[in-house]
């Protein structure tokens, strides 16, 4: 009965159909069209909007969507306030397919909007739009601004690090590097350096190779024996160049040997047993475990401890940290491994970047706290709609 009354009322009053506007969806890859039309006074759950589309102005038009007229308002779209106005005065729909096929960039498409009061849809005029690929996605503007701010902080700290020495908190494991290398030199025993089980695509392996550069430079200066067994041939090739550069930088190219870095095997426990055998036979005075490790961590560290070597470990494998802490003299936990290169070299670029990361983490924690307070206050005072503007700045939109 309600549908019949609405239908008769619409016919009697000469219903005004909404006129949609069609445009390219901004910030996309050219595969979508945005339709927007005003809200109408006769909207009700029994009244439906229907969108039809075609690649020709004469048709045939195919139905793309159909939904109740009391839904699909602008406020329902998840988009930042600087690109999208929220409200209930307009409806929207994003067309991505026509006839079951995705829209093509640069091709014109035609759309019409119908209103169904229960007796079949009535359609208004046809609107057209051409989807185009965009160079910039405005929904990512907040990320771009944060990136610029962080880049500015990094450059500022690098500039400060070049003018004066910046404070870095003491890391006991790195302070003991000099002691470990000096002890190996005095005892005439080798230094073993392991880079972990992963390849060069791992962040921890990259950090381990950077630390190796500093260890190799000190070993060259002290004329200590350095041995680096590998489980990955690519890592071995990279480490060879790193060690060669460190010896050149130390002014000891004559002391460099190609067999400092050598390949063992890529099998996990074969590598472990081979290195354990070398440690037992050569009894190194210092052993460094840097990088990512699995079950071999305790097997290696226990053997190193049995020959009374100074052992310094550094890993971001949290499940192996208890074993390294138990069996090694010093352990770098998590990001201390990443900071080791800056700590040992004191190069302004590395030190400035490290300090900038700390500031970035501090700002992130501050934003999390502010966001939590804002959501709580918004729910308590009933102003969630206003808090959304602040939260948009912190959100990731796709």
Phi, psi of 61 (to 5 degrees): -95, 135
- 79 lies in the same domain as 196: no
Give dist(CA 89, CA 341) in Å, integer: 58
Question: In this structure, are 198 and 303 located in the same domain?
Answer: yes
User: Do 50 and 179 share a structural domain?
Assistant: no
Q: How many CA atoms lie within 13 A of 391 on its CB side?
A: 16
Q: Are residues 180 and 295 in the same domain?
A: yes
Q: What is the pLDDT of residues 352-389, one digit of tens each?
A: 888 888 888 898 899 889 888 988 988 888 787 778 88
Query: Which tokens in the block code for residue 256?
Result: 């460099």
Confidence of residue 346 (pLDDT cuts 50, 70, 90): confident
Looking at the structure, tell me whether residues 226 and 189 fall in a common domain.
Answer: yes
List, for residues 146-183, the tens digit of each pLDDT value: 999 999 999 999 998 888 887 878 888 888 888 899 99
Question: How confident is the model over 23-81, as pLDDT tens digits?
Answer: 999 988 889 999 999 999 999 999 999 999 998 888 789 999 999 999 999 999 988 88
Closest CA to 230 of 191, 189, 190, 198: 198
| CATH of residue 288 | 3.40.50
**Distance separating alpha carbons of residues 214 and 241, to the nearest angstrom:** 13
* CA-based nearest residue to 48, from 115, 95, 94, 93: 115
Range of the domain at 378: 138-152+351-394
pTM greater than 0.75 (yes/no): no
Question: Does a structural domain hold residue 159?
Answer: no
Q: Are the C-beta atoms of residues 27 and 94 closer than 8 Å to each other?
A: no
CATH number at residue 6: 2.60.40.10
> Residue 336's pLDDT is what?
85
Residues 312 and 359 in one domain: no
Domain assignment present for residue 9? The answer is yes
The total of structural domains in the chain comes to 3
């Amino acid at each position: 009965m309600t549908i019949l009354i609405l239908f008769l009322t619409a016919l009697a009053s000469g219903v005004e159909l909404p006129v949609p506007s069609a445009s390219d969806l901004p910030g996309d890859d050219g595969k979508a069209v945005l339709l927007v039309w005003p809200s109408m006074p006769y909207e009700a759950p029994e009244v439906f909007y229907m969108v039809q589309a075609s690649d020709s102005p004469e048709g045939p038009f195919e139905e793309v969507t159909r939904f109740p007229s009391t839904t699909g308002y602008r406020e329902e779209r998840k988009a930042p306030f600087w690109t999208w106005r929220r409200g209930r005065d307009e409806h929207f729909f994003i067309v991505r397919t026509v006839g079951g096929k995705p829209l093509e960039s640069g091709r014109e498409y035609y759309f019409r909007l119908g209103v169904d009061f229960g007796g079949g849809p009535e359609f208004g005029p046809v609107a057209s739009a051409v989807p185009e690929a965009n160079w910039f996605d405005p929904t990512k503007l907040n990320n771009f601004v944060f990136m610029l701010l962080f880049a500015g902080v990094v450059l500022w700290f690098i500039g400060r690090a070049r003018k004066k020495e910046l404070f870095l908190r003491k890391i006991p494991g790195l302070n003991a590097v000099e002691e470990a290398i000096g002890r190996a030199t005095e005892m005439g025993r080798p230094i073993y350096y392991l880079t972990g089980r992963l390849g060069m695509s791992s962040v921890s392996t990259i950090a381990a190779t950077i630390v190796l550069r500093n260890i190799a430079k000190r070993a060259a200066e002290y004329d200590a024996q350095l041995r680096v067994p590998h489980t990955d041939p690519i890592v071995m090739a990279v480490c060879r160049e790193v060690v060669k550069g460190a010896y050149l930088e130390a002014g000891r190219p004559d002391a460099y040997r190609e067999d400092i870095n050598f390949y063992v095997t890529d099998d996990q426990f074969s590598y472990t047993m081979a290195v354990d055998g070398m440690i037992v036979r050569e009894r190194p005075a210092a052993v460094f475990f840097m990088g990512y490790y699995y079950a071999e961590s305790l097997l290696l560290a226990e053997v190193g401890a049995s020959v009374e070597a100074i052992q310094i470990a550094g890993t971001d494998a949290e499940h192996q940290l208890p074993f390294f802490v138990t069996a090694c003299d010093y352990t770098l936990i998590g990001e201390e491994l990443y900071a080791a290169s800056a700590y040992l070299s004191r190069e302004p670029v590395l030190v400035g970047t490290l300090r900038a990361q700390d500031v970035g983490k501090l700002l992130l924690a501050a934003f999390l706290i502010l966001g939590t307070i804002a959501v709580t206050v918004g729910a308590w005072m009933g102003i969630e709609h206003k808090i959304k503007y602040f939260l948009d700045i912190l959100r990731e939109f796709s």
